[in-house]
Structure 1
Amino acid sequence: MKRNTIVVDSVSRRALLRGLMAGAGLCLLPATAFAAISKSTSSAIAFDGNALIVARGSALLYRDKGQNWIALPKVAAGTILSFTTHPDRPGRIIGGLDTGGVVLSVDGGKSWDVRGQGLPEAAVTAITTAVTNPDTLYAAIRGDGLWQSDDVGLSWTFVMDRPWLANTERDLTALSSVDLATGMGGIWLYAGTDIAVTRVPDCFCRWQDVQPGDAMDALASGKPAPSKAPLPESEPVNALVSAASQPATLYAALPSGIWHSQDAGVTWLRRSTVSATAIAVHPIRADDLAIVNDDGVLQSRDGGRTWTAISNI
């Protein structure tokens, strides 16, 4: 084992404490800077090119290309629950708020513009950018459904009810635009819920179970085809991302660990038992991940097999 690299299945979380991190020579903010942050608080993370932005409760951090951490000003409009970025818009970061609406930054989180005209006044639990159009956003609204904006959040249109799973409507806990053909002239939106992953074509005909084939195959059969190796049943999906450079590569963060799919969610394998409340994947390097959990911010360069602590926020 390389020094200061954490193999999650054999090393306890105590291995992530500051003494170990100091030995790695990493640039970590003092724990006192965020002492008031609860371990159960909300979190969000996203890559902005090679940089990272992290929200933990009301605290915001930005790690620049030189891997230096910068504490950003708080967002006055509310707490950020989710982030979305796009490789074609460096420096532009959009966050969904617990108070409703979204905020947009074009300077890497140094300043924020409040948007969300027409959205319900309820928490934006998940947000994503259309991978094929950086000005199109999708937002999941707690207790409501899925909304779309074609002008970077200035105005919004309702496009889809919440998915009906296990005899009830389910709020969305995660969203990811996945650049794979649906067979209906568009691409997919994948979503996490409190019990499963589901998906919908961006024509918004209906939510579907993840299965082999495209949306037309599912409609023609009329029956859901079982996944070869699905995610564990009835576990909440805390976060879900697709690798922009390899769209069929998905990562999901569940209480049981970090799960990985190479066939667009049909087959899943657990990469590690580390849990996370938020996850991000590098826009070019599909094996480069970052997560937020109770121990802080961790990064993996091997697709989630091993982890290194990079901040104790």
Structure 2
Amino acid sequence: MLSGAVRAGDGAADIRTLAFDGDTLLAADATLMISPDGGRNWEERPTPAPVASLATHPARPGRILAGLARGRVAMSGDGGTTWTTRSDGLASGEVTALAVAAGNPDMIYAAIRGDGLWKSEDAGATWALAMDRPWLDAAELDPLTLASVDLETGMGGIWIYAGTEKGLTRVPDCFCRWQDFQPGDAMDALAAGDAPPAEASLPTDEPVLSLASALTAPSTLYAALPSGVWASQDGGVIWTHKAKGQGRAVAVHPRDENHVAAILDGTLKLSRDGGATWIALAVA
């Protein structure tokens, strides 16, 4: 049953992850909450276990991928009504992050806590290790969030972005090396090994908890950090602070890079102008 919104922020405090499935907004923690009308009304859908991460793709409407806090990846093909496990060959452990390749809806990436970055080329039926976890600040770190970004500067046009406890990093789809953010293409970055520009970068002293890439404008990215919501218009080199507050999750509509949802200070907020203004909604 759809439930009416009651108070701004109700039910949002525990939400760990957000996603859009077309016009439908998804929010998950112990269960999955679905809003087909932009956050005004919500329907609860049980999941096999508490959800740590979500992923969707506009080429597969109704298909929801859930990384489970107790391990495994679950998939629903009917908008969250029924679920199957898609974890053959996948390492055990919490699935901290999921992403679907921007140009290939059956290519899925998963980060496993304490392990590495895994990939499936058959919509999650089988999995193989893609590469080790990012090495940042003299330590190997778990990706807390992943995003597939279709940029010409990547190898074959694809980058995999990862948010960690120590900031943001990315790897081209050759899976050759995690790289800092700087202008130019992947080969330039590999050859130069330069540090990213210090000005207008994301903070490196706080975790990047959530990333969202706009499919309609691949160079546009949003990130949720404890300091709020940040946005980049150039593929992650330069960032601007769009909203202050305790950020936890962020998602962007697949057909409108200015339509953004975020959890800020335990409240679900929506923006229709790329983060310039926000309205609070209830999750009831």
TM-score, normalization: structure 2?
0.92
Greater per-residue helix proportion = 1
**Unmatched 5+ stretches in structure 2:** none
For the pair shown, which has the larger CA radius of gyration, 1 or 2? Answer: 1
Match of 1:246, SS state, is: coil
Shift of 1:270: 0.3
Pairing partner for 1:302 from 251, 273, 278: 273
> Which range moved further: 275-284 or 123-132?
275-284
Pairing partner for 2:239 from 240, 244, 268: 268
Aligned CA distance change for structure 1 residues 47 and 66 (closer, same or farther; 3 Å):
closer
Q: Counterpart of 2:225?
A: 254
8 A Cα contact 2:117 2:131, kept in partner: yes
Pairing partner for 2:55 from 76, 84, 89: 84
Q: Counterpart of 2:20?
A: 47
Instruction: Note if 1:242 corresponds to 2:213.
Output: yes
8 A Cα contact 2:196 2:237, kept in partner: no
Greater per-residue strand proportion = 2
In structure 2, C-alpha distance between the alignment counterparts of 1:279 and 1:147, rounded to whole Å: 23
In structure 2, C-alpha distance between the alignment counterparts of 1:188 and 1:245, rounded to whole Å: 16
1:35-91 deviation per Cα after TM superposition (whole angstroms, max 9, x unaligned): xx9x4x4511111111111113x1321111476534233213x11111111111111
Instruction: Note if 1:127 corresponds to 2:98.
Output: yes
Shift of 1:222: 3.4
Match of 1:217, SS state, is: helix
Counterpart code for 2:79: G
Match of 1:209, SS state, is: coil
Q: Counterpart of 1:7?
A: none
In structure 2, C-alpha distance between the alignment counterparts of 1:227 and 1:87, rounded to whole Å: 35
Q: Counterpart of 1:22?
A: none
Aligned CA distance change for structure 1 residues 164 and 300 (closer, same or farther; 3 Å):
same
1:62-211 equivalence runs, <5 A: 62-65=34-37, 69-76=41-48, 78-211=49-182
Shift of 1:312: 3.6
In structure 1, C-alpha distance between the alignment counterparts of 2:78 and 2:40, rounded to whole Å: 16
Match of 1:286, SS state, is: strand
Aligned CA distance change for structure 1 residues 167 and 42 (closer, same or farther; 3 Å):
farther
1:212-223 equivalence runs, <5 A: 212-223=183-194
TM-score, normalization: structure 1?
0.84
Match of 1:88, SS state, is: coil
> Which range moved further: 215-224 or 79-88?
215-224
8 A Cα contact 2:73 2:86, kept in partner: yes
Aligned CA distance change for structure 1 residues 29 and 135 (closer, same or farther; 3 Å):
farther
Aligned CA distance change for structure 1 residues 183 and 88 (closer, same or farther; 3 Å):
closer
Which is bigger in relative contact order (C-alpha 8 A, separation at least 6)? Answer: 2
Percent sequence identity is 50
1:85-134 deviation per Cα after TM superposition (whole angstroms, max 9, x unaligned): 11111111101011111111111111111111111110000000001000
Pairing partner for 2:31 from 33, 56, 59: 59
In structure 2, C-alpha distance between the alignment counterparts of 1:226 and 1:72, rounded to whole Å: 44
In structure 2, C-alpha distance between the alignment counterparts of 1:291 and 1:67, rounded to whole Å: 11
Q: Counterpart of 2:252?
A: 281
Match of 2:98, SS state, is: strand
> Which range moved further: 220-229 or 244-253?
220-229
1:234-258 deviation per Cα after TM superposition (whole angstroms, max 9, x unaligned): 1100101111000000111111111
Any runs of at least 4 consecutive aligned residues in structure 1 with deviations exceeding 4 A, and if so which? Answer: 65-68
What is the Cα-based RMSD across aligned positions, in Å? 2.1
Count of matched residue pairs: 281
**Unmatched 5+ stretches in structure 1:** 1-25
In structure 2, C-alpha distance between the alignment counterparts of 1:130 and 1:66, rounded to whole Å: 25
In structure 1, C-alpha distance between the alignment counterparts of 2:179 and 2:72, rounded to whole Å: 27
Counterpart code for 2:46: K
Aligned CA distance change for structure 1 residues 69 and 42 (closer, same or farther; 3 Å):
closer
In structure 2, C-alpha distance between the alignment counterparts of 1:106 and 1:232, rounded to whole Å: 37
In structure 2, C-alpha distance between the alignment counterparts of 1:249 and 1:230, rounded to whole Å: 14
In structure 1, C-alpha distance between the alignment counterparts of 2:7 and 2:121, rounded to whole Å: 40
